[in-house]
A and B are shown apart, each in its own frame.
Chain A
Amino acid sequence: MGNLDLLLGGLQSAATPENLLYAAIGVLLGTFVGVLPGIGPAMAVALLLPVTYSLEPTSAFIMFAGIYYGGMYGGSTTSILLNTPGESASVMTALEGNKMAKAGRAAQALATAAIGSFIAGTIGTLLVALFAPALAEVAVTIGSPSYFAILLFALVMTTTLLGSSKVRGFLSLFLGLTIGLVGLDLNTGQARLDLGVTQLRDPLEIVAVAVGIFALGEAFWVAAHLRRKPLQVIPVGRPWMGRADWGRSWKPWLRGTAFGFPFGAIPAGGAEIPTFLSYITERRLSRHQDEFGKGAIEGVAGPEAANNASAAGMFVPLLAMGIPVTATASVMLAALTSYGIQPGPQLMTEQSDLVWTLLASLLIGNTLLLVLNLPLAPLWAKLLRIPRPQLYAGILFFACLGAFAANQDAFDVFLLLAFGLLGLAMRRFGLPVLPLILGVILGPIMELKLREALTISDGDLSGLWSEPLAVVVYVLTALIVVVPIVVKRVRPDLDSPAAEVAHARAEQDEERIER
């Protein structure tokens, strides 16, 4: 285990009191920038990078790692507390996290997110340290056919999330897929659903749609009912995670890590798909089915771990081959270059000192994040005690500021408001919002991968199963669809567990609609 020794060496040289101080400053800065609307970790890193320039490389790395993890955690914080995800990877966190927060369990949601991020980040960094070169070789062989197969699998899985009324669920899903079509067709240059507006010729940002539907839709809904209903006061819960919370969190943390890490490593993998797969897995496996949609801790623990593991996985192609696979990785690449690291295939051998220091720094940054933010969770949770009118006014303000700041274009604010109205209408008519968001997330990536696979094979459909992994995933998908039907045919008397689950879910959704 030569690599492990090297990593320990890196830790030793990195963990001085002075460096720990830099890490702490980095984590705090990162968290504060990360909670700003519309700012994800990539931006947080890009924005705060200059702060680290004056330091010597080791301290700079450590501060940088702190900023990075802090920025990521900051994004989850707003998802949970305000229902305004800062980046597409934390959209899934908002689903259950915000419901938990409303039920007075914000502190637990923040804590499970922080601990899950820590565990996933640590496991991910260790995997990078030990196996990066080998993993990178496998990762690049995974191309668009496999990715498309995985997305098809994900789309099939979304049908279990449609809610009590399948018609409404599909309506919402297709609405989402349609929203995902907006923009220029990348292969032919044909404008789709642009309504003659130049700004609609770029694909819509998932975050803008999610913030509009989630946060604004809800703010409008609350505003529409303020006079009719007495103000609901958010109960103040216990500040720490209880034994039950721990028991329900640890498996999702590990499963989320298992989903996230490989996606981070494959080209253009991203964090959206693994967070979604983690969410849906937890929803299927949980013994607390009834709590999903009302704030199930598994639904926060899993996706948050997946998000961070994917961020760690990103270092596999970055360090082993010098390939940045995501926006964050590109920013990171620029950062590494500015520290004198020349990323590339020879990096691990030629500049191993710096690499091990970097990996050690990531571990330290990750740990410090946990140490600093866990005690802060109850404080953040107190934010929700702001009276509702002011709180929602604040959300509206920050959401609009975030939308406007992106391009200083009033059109973006109107677009956000339009999605807010759509969100309001969906609540009014009992359409579930989750399938819509999934459609917006899955649709465009799926199209991209399908087109890519078919371009490479010159339109030959066999190109879609040209990779072994793709075949495996197709078989798995077929099994998931076919097995329940066969079981029902063979044993019609047996009410399958899936049916019970669906029934329980139906009740829960009805409740939600009533609310």
Chain B
Amino acid sequence: MASISIRNLVKRYGSFTVIPDLNLEIADHEFVVFVGPSGCGKSTLLRIIAGLEPMTAGDLYIGDKRVNGVQAAQRDIAMVFQDYALYPHMRVYDNMSFALELRGTPKAEIDARVRRAAALLHIEPYLDRKPKELSGGQRQRVAMGRAIVRNPKAFLFDEPLSNLDAKLRGQVRAEIKALSQELKTTMVFVTHDQIEAMTMADRIVVLQGGVVQQYDTPETVYERPANQFVAGFIGSPAMNFFPVEWRDDRVVLSQIGAAVPLDDASSRRLQKAGNGVLGIRPEHFGVVTDPADGIAVNVKLVEPLGSDTLIHFDLAGVSAIARVDPELRPRLGDRLSVRPQPGKIHLFDGNSGEVLR
């Protein structure tokens, strides 16, 4: 068990810079999720921590030890790969015992640890099977078992759920979360799936272009995104954005000049900036009965999800989505009045995308 400290990390491939200058502190026992779009550098960062990829500059500490240049084999970390990377010629038992055998662990202890991990992951019946005789979910568990038998300083997960079907993914996600609470070991998990990030992490690192956009708890990242990128990336469906400006002592949608009913604090922030981008999550649109209280929109698509319903509409030249009560039973072409819920709107700088404070 150990903390992980990344200081001024730079990663370049030739003249192409993947990570320009990154600093990150992961506390002992913490479950941190790296999330971001493809090519944001999250897997590269994980591989650098694992020792599978050299860094161009900077320092990396696992616990108190600086591990720059230390081989992956000597870092005492365990990793679960996207394709599980099980040894195809070994039985499940051997896959799990291999690392312990390399370290010269006594046979009895190896056996005890393998069986304990197998029991924890419910893979005892498969110990004598080869990986090709297992389903995707079983292979995934074996890959986790191979990691946990070692009792390493940290676990690294590189998109381990992306090859599973939706149902199994949800199940394994919960199992990993439960495992992290039981093992109390530092865990770093890479995903492009924001639901995985939100549900599993103690803290989320949102990456874009090799730069940390925000590093905070899932709640904070969701409720108080640091910038427009984070706001748009976290949350499904994504946050709606509308260009707004301060005109005639009120906040209006830039394109159509329609007034946006905002609370005083938000209005003051925009007044100070002059213009910006208004962000509203789909669930923070309210449907109002009095047209004077909201902005009139035409429903152009309805997506009933059961628990709630998504309605699509155009507002100020922007295609927007609102999550509404299914009891409302909106229909295609209905004219509704919507308004942002008080205190639930986000304002960003029109140029930098940073949140307006």
Query: A and B: real partners?
Result: no
Q: Taking beta carbons and an 8 Å cutoff, which residues of A are in contact with B? A: none
